[in-house]
Amino acid sequence: MLKIRSTKKNDFDAIMEIYRYARELMRSNGNPNQWYDKFPEARTISNDIDCNNSYVIEENGIVYGVFAFIIGKEPTYQRIEGSWKNDEKYGTIHRIASNGQKNGIFDLCLKYCESKISNIRIDTHRDNKIMQHLIQKNGFERCGIIYVADGSPRIAYQKIIR
């Protein structure tokens, strides 16, 4: 059975392989620009782990998915073309990816995040049709456009669990 746990330093190589696979999948599905060759960078992953914001989805010691979940203000969400549903404390899902070997990674991630906070935000690239489908299927509402650190736009979503 798949389970979520905090990422450990020795998960690093498995995580980097998952991101390599995810970049290739994005490219082959018409999304070559969201995650360039080295994104997410090793230092970003290490920082997520050091700050206890990184989680893996595993089964029998095999890591199938990874995501960052951060509760608190996300700097790139401070400015939005559009509007957030509220200004209450929220959690942000970032850098979710899988190795393609198990279904339900996004659903499991979301269930975990919803158990931590009832106000969740996420964003994705306009070319990432797979992620847009998953986000919308799971009850997120489109709020507008935000800009990530490199200045490129992302579609921003929010879900409030009542």
**Chain segment 8-50, per-residue pLDDT in tens:** 999 999 999 999 988 887 787 776 677 666 778 889 999 999 9
| Whether pLDDT at 79 is above 70 | yes
Q: Which domains are present in the chain? A: 3-160 (3.40.630.30)
User: DSSP assignment of the chain, as one string?
Assistant: --EEEE--GGGHHHHHHHHHHHHHHHHHTT--SSS-TTPSPHHHHHHHHHTT-EEEEEETTEEEEEEEEEES--GGGSS-EE--S--S--EEEEEEEE-SSSS-HHHHHHHHHHHH-SEEEEEE-TT-HHHHHHHHHTT-EEEEEEE-TTS-EEEEEEEE--
Across 137-141, 148-152, 156-160, least confident range:
148-152
Share of the chain above pLDDT 90, in %: 81
